[in-house]
Amino acid sequence: MSSSDIKKEISCKDDFDPSSLDADVARQKILENITPVAGTETLPVRETVGRVLAREIVSPINVPSGTNSAMDGYAINGSDIPATGVAELKLIGTTFAGQPFSGQVNPGECVRIMTGAIMPPGTDTVIMQEHVEYKGDTIIIDNGTRAGDNVRAAGEDIAINDVVLTPGISLTPAEIGVIASLGIGEIEVYRRIKVAFFSTGDELRSVGEPLEAGQIYDSNRYLLYGMLERLGVEIIDMGVVRDDREALQYAMKSAASQADVVITSGGVSVGEADYVKEMLESVGQINFWKVAMKPGRPLAFGHIKNALFFGLPGNPVSVMVTFYQFVQPALRCLMGEKYKGLQTFRVKCQSRLKKRPGRVEYQRGILQRESSGELVVYKTGAQGSGILSSMSQANCFIILPMESGQVDPGALVEVQPFFGIV
Ligand code: AMP
Ligand code: MG
């Protein structure tokens, strides 16, 4: 069924709002609007975990730098391996990693060699010590080893002048190690981006203040802080802003003057005091504000001067879902990273999931291995957008596509593990 057919089919149902954007289209529109930062800085390699590489890394050396032994054993010339039966070789020395053997090894001779030691001149094969018999200062070998075995060639991991890493990758411990293996101490990465955020709502109190009737603690700023901290951006926490046009306008302008990105939560629904969309239209440009998804339908995206603006919904679960589905890919793209697409896979769902066609749903799931060994997913329980504990119990999103209705136990569903996105 095409997406326009789906829209026709479900247009009479409550949940479908024809003015809402498809979530994938929304993500695409956001990513199209982003120009990665141009600024870079050069840093010691150790300080770059989580940063995005700005310039390609070309190897100045071979890794390993010399041909060396992959085993503890005996370095020999492969032509000494007998075609049948055994051969006797004279032991003329020992070599350790970091202590090369300086002499020449002639036919009929061998050198005791440790893993990582450079192959002595005249040798090209290592016989494992377990395959050797000793007889005074000679060893006896059989024909069980082939010439060239148990040797690591110079440059077999990385060859000199190879392009090892390309710009746009987010650096992990493995890349840090690879770069160190090349002897490179400093690298060029994109500058950190600055993200300012604030919560909106007259009912919000900050942690530490007493609560009066009808008030709640502001959890969204903590969620946003945690999610942004993980991304390694520079964080500007601007506190809580009242549901007041002037206060919002002032906060938006001030945030945009200090940051590359402004994120707000709350005030984007259609309630009486939801002014975020209106104020964004007055101080910047709005691109869209409704997405056919649950949770998180009201979502404003736009610009205030040079800053990107994301107006997230107020409910804490919606904040997390919209952050991970839209804001995080956008921030990664702005940070210079190449977008890899959603990382999802299909597993059997053991729970019944309530769902009506007309919007994508991001339910919270627990991926676990059954005693049979099969990996399956369960739902976390109540899926209301105010139930933040469901995010804490979950280890994945169960992504139910727009056209899907209720899911019965045993059906296959698409999951997006938190590992890697959270
Ligand atoms: P709103 O979009 O402003 O109408 O908010 C939707 C719901 O989310 C309301 O129940 C708000 O009280 C709640 N909410 C808004 N902001 C926050 C916040 N910072 N922390 C916790 N809950 C919030
Ligand atoms: Mg509000």
Let me know if residue 422 belongs to a domain: no
Let me know if residue 285 belongs to a domain: yes
Tell me how far the alpha carbon of residue 273 lies from the centroid of ligand 2, in angstroms.
Answer: 7
Q: Are 261 and 370 in the same domain?
A: no
Tell me how far the alpha carbon of residue 267 lies from the centroid of ligand 2, in angstroms.
Answer: 4
**Rounded average pLDDT over 395-407:** 97
Q: Are 122 and 171 in the same domain?
A: no
Closest ligand, as measured to the CA of 215: 1
Q: Are 366 and 408 in the same domain?
A: yes
CATH number at residue 231: 3.40.980.10
Distance CA 95, CA 75 (A): 9
**Rounded average pLDDT over 110-137:** 96
Separation of first and last alpha carbons in the chain: 33
Distance CA 111, CA 326 (A): 61
CA 125 to chain centre: 42
Let me know if residue 18 belongs to a domain: yes
CATH number at residue 170: 3.90.105.10
Q: What's the pLDDT at 15?
A: 55
Closest ligand, as measured to the CA of 270: 1
Q: Tell me if residue 95 falls in helix, strand or coil.
A: strand
Cβ atoms 298, 289 nearer than 8 A: yes
Q: Are 105 and 121 in the same domain?
A: yes
Let me know if residue 27 belongs to a domain: yes
Atom of ligand 1 nearest to the CA of 240: 19
Closest ligand, as measured to the CA of 224: 1
**Rounded average pLDDT over 48-52:** 97
Let me know if residue 120 belongs to a domain: yes
**Rounded average pLDDT over 106-122:** 97
Closest ligand, as measured to the CA of 204: 1
**Model confidence pLDDT, tens digit, residues 128-138:** 999 999 988 99
Q: What's the pLDDT at 258?
A: 97
**Model confidence pLDDT, tens digit, residues 282-339:** 999 998 778 999 998 889 999 999 999 999 999 999 999 999 999 999 999 999 999 8
Let me know if residue 170 belongs to a domain: yes
Q: Are 204 and 168 in the same domain?
A: no
Tell me how far the alpha carbon of residue 216 lies from the centroid of ligand 2, in angstroms.
Answer: 11
Q: Are 238 and 322 in the same domain?
A: yes
Q: What's the pLDDT at 12?
A: 39
Q: What domain range is 378 assigned to?
A: 345-417
Let me know if residue 339 belongs to a domain: no
CATH number at residue 364: 2.40.340.10
With the most atoms of ligand 1 within 8 angstroms of its CB, the residue from 220, 240, 321, 387 to mutate is: 220
**Model confidence pLDDT, tens digit, residues 187-230:** 999 999 999 999 999 999 999 999 999 999 999 999 999 999 99
User: How much of the chain, in percent, has pLDDT values that exceed 90?
Assistant: 88
Which residues approach ligand 1 with their CB closer than 6 A? 199, 201, 203-204, 216, 218-220, 265-269, 271, 274, 313-316
- Atom 16 in ligand 1: residue holding the nearest Cα: 314
Let me know if residue 1 belongs to a domain: no
Cβ atoms 202, 68 nearer than 8 A: no
Q: Are 197 and 182 in the same domain?
A: no
Tell me how far the alpha carbon of residue 95 lies from the centroid of ligand 2, in angstroms.
Answer: 73
Tell me how far the alpha carbon of residue 11 lies from the centroid of ligand 1, in angstroms.
Answer: 29
Please identify, among 152, 177, 202, the residue that sits at the C-terminal boundary of a domain: 152
Q: Quick one: tokens of 136?
A: 């005074």
Tell me how far the alpha carbon of residue 134 lies from the centroid of ligand 2, in angstroms.
Answer: 83
**Model confidence pLDDT, tens digit, residues 24-34:** 999 999 999 99
The environment of the single-atom ion ligand 2, i.e. residues with CB closer than 5 A, is 201, 266-267, 314
23: left (phi over 0), alpha (psi -120 to 50) or beta: alpha
CATH number at residue 120: 2.170.190.11
Tell me how far the alpha carbon of residue 156 lies from the centroid of ligand 2, in angstroms.
Answer: 60
With the most atoms of ligand 1 within 8 angstroms of its CB, the residue from 197, 206, 216 to mutate is: 216
Q: Quick one: tokens of 2?
A: 């095409």
Q: Are 74 and 99 in the same domain?
A: yes
List the one residue out of 182, 142, 183, 156 whose CA is nearest residue 70. 156
Q: Are 168 and 140 in the same domain?
A: no
Please identify, among 311, 334, 357, the residue that sits at the C-terminal boundary of a domain: 334
Cβ atoms 312, 299 nearer than 8 A: yes
Q: Are 163 and 180 in the same domain?
A: yes
- Res. 86: pLDDT tops 80: yes
Phi and psi at residue 4, to the nearest 5°:
-75, -35
**Model confidence pLDDT, tens digit, residues 336-385:** 999 888 899 999 999 999 999 999 999 999 999 999 999 999 999 888 88
The 8-class DSSP code of residue 47 comes to G
Please identify, among 142, 172, 190, the residue that sits at the C-terminal boundary of a domain: 190
Tell me how far the alpha carbon of residue 284 lies from the centroid of ligand 2, in angstroms.
Answer: 21
Closest ligand, as measured to the CA of 223: 1
Q: What's the pLDDT at 347?
A: 98
Provide the pLDDT confidence category of residue 2 given band limits of 50, 70 and 90: low
Distance CA 416, CA 344 (A): 4
Distance CA 2, CA 91 (A): 76
Q: Greatest CA span in the chain, whole angstroms?
A: 96
Atom of ligand 1 nearest to the CA of 221: 19
Q: Are 242 and 323 in the same domain?
A: yes
What is the number of domains present in the chain?
Answer: 4
Q: Are 133 and 260 in the same domain?
A: no
